[in-house]
A and B are shown apart, each in its own frame.
Chain A
């Protein structure tokens, strides 16, 4: 019978009497209940149970050893490489490399078994007696504090810090100047973006080059309902700064029946229904080209912004804040599609100085 079992109404007055208090004790519902009496586990009182638990823990550790040997064996036994003979079919994983599977499995088991053995050991055999450790105040004792302050004052006096002003001032000056080196170094991490975000590689007279064939295109190459990716003439994939350039200049070409184009300016910026749009989402700049040729919608896979290419790239769904920028194009004297200039607005996501 624990003390709780005695807590029925008729026992209460006696309990108060024992504390010698009156009504005040009745309100003390938050009194520290202390620890419940310790109860023994089976393994604490039964030698057989303890021996069994010991064997179980040892089994885990043995399993870990076996798995480690298995790891080394599989490393020697199985070959890496993409050939089918190096794979094995395992439900539900499918075809999987023998090497990867056995290495992962054995290493996983050998680590897990150590952990599991340790936990089982702690739960069954290590002492589970509760111990109470009282907290100490954080503050040091007054004597210690007094001693520390005295030492400090004496040190300050002996160093002459307050008296030798020249040393003090030059030292402060030296310390203040050290961070200047860091300023110079950090300055070198790169110039500010300046106007780089405002412009791309496109310029008047630059022909549109097909990303697949690396050839300039005629308007007749672009059929209604098709989708083509283009880069500015003169930009080669082997260029050192290709990624930097194409990150802003990537465009997609689509063609629709001129009657389907709802936005008049957009139609004029195209050529006989061929429209050229930036491929960079105006939300946070994912490349977008999930084009649906019947609805003329372009979907961004990152956060589902949807742009209507038949309506000037208007945002019809999602978090994007600007319509998709359109590149003004025409054909040159030889019939090749060319840009009539750079984008009229910065491509990609909004930024601090963007107007």
Chain B
């Protein structure tokens, strides 16, 4: 105790107290706040009601209180529930900061809460809704590969490992993305990705593409027979590897061949 009171006037004391207070309130909030919302009711209107409350806390600072959008975030009228499920379900929303592209991160809402948010946003205006599990069931891998190379590979690369776009934007890797989120992404076109509506890419087409992506990104189903894929990014990583390691090894050997043999010390 004496020690504590002696350090009371330490220049960092105020900072410590402040951090402690912040951590406590934050922790308490995290512990209690979601619990209050978790009791989702299956009834539609209650779901919308809950979603509206969640929206007001988590989304309205950028998308405005009733989702019409501000200069920081686009309008959500008419984006539909599928879009919400993708953006929030992959952790892209709520966004940490504005930027060229909002990255996927840890998901902070439960699926129930996401459904509530989605129900609320869907109530603002009609749009594509969250697909049912038979809609995103995997289809034909071979046909999917063909469709993937026509529609997707230009950005996401032939192996689904993603690639760069203009001005800091990029197509993310498709490794580990769930079938539902793949389906929703094609349907809604999140951020700068164009959408592939069912009118131009049928549900069956989407299922084939999902099958291909799941097959090709799964090392158990599609092992790399040559080994060392270097991210399957093509000439960039392969070239870098070749220049540094292969050429480096050749230079090392050339030096060894041409080095002068150590001479015996003359006594």
Contacts and interface: CB of A to CB of B under 8 A. Distances in A.
Nearest to A223: B197
A301 B154 contact: yes
B145 to A, nearest CB: 13
Interface in A300-335: 301, 304, 306, 317
Main SS of chain A's interface residues?
Answer: mixed
A223 B195 contact: yes
Size class of the B contact interface (CB-based, 8 Å): 35 or more
Given A41-B262, A41-B264, A93-B227, A293 B195 contact: yes
A123 B220 CA distance: 48
Interface string B164-185: 0111010100000000000000
A100 B193 contact: no
Interface stretch (B10-18, B110-118, B200-208): B200-208
A126 to B, nearest CB: 10
Contact of A87 (B192, B223, B229, B264): B223
| Most chain B CB neighbours (cut-off 10 Å) among A124, A210, A217, A290 | A290
Interface residues of A, number: 53
A212 B165 contact: no
Nearest to B229: A94
A355 B150 CA distance: 32
A254 B226 contact: no
B154 A97 contact: no
Interface in A133-167: none
Interface string A41-55: 110111000000000
A292 B165 contact: yes
A294 B205 CA distance: 24
A228 B223 contact: no
B32 interface: no
19 contacts: A39-B263, A41-B263, A45-B264, A84-B223, A95-B223, A96-B224, A96-B225, A96-B228, A97-B225, A100-B226, A119-B256, A210-B200, A222-B199, A225-B194, A254-B194, A291-B194, A292-B194, A295-B167, A301-B163
Question: 7 smallest A-B Cβ distances: which pairs?
Answer: A96-B227, A227-B194, A93-B227, A221-B199, A95-B223, A292-B192, A97-B225
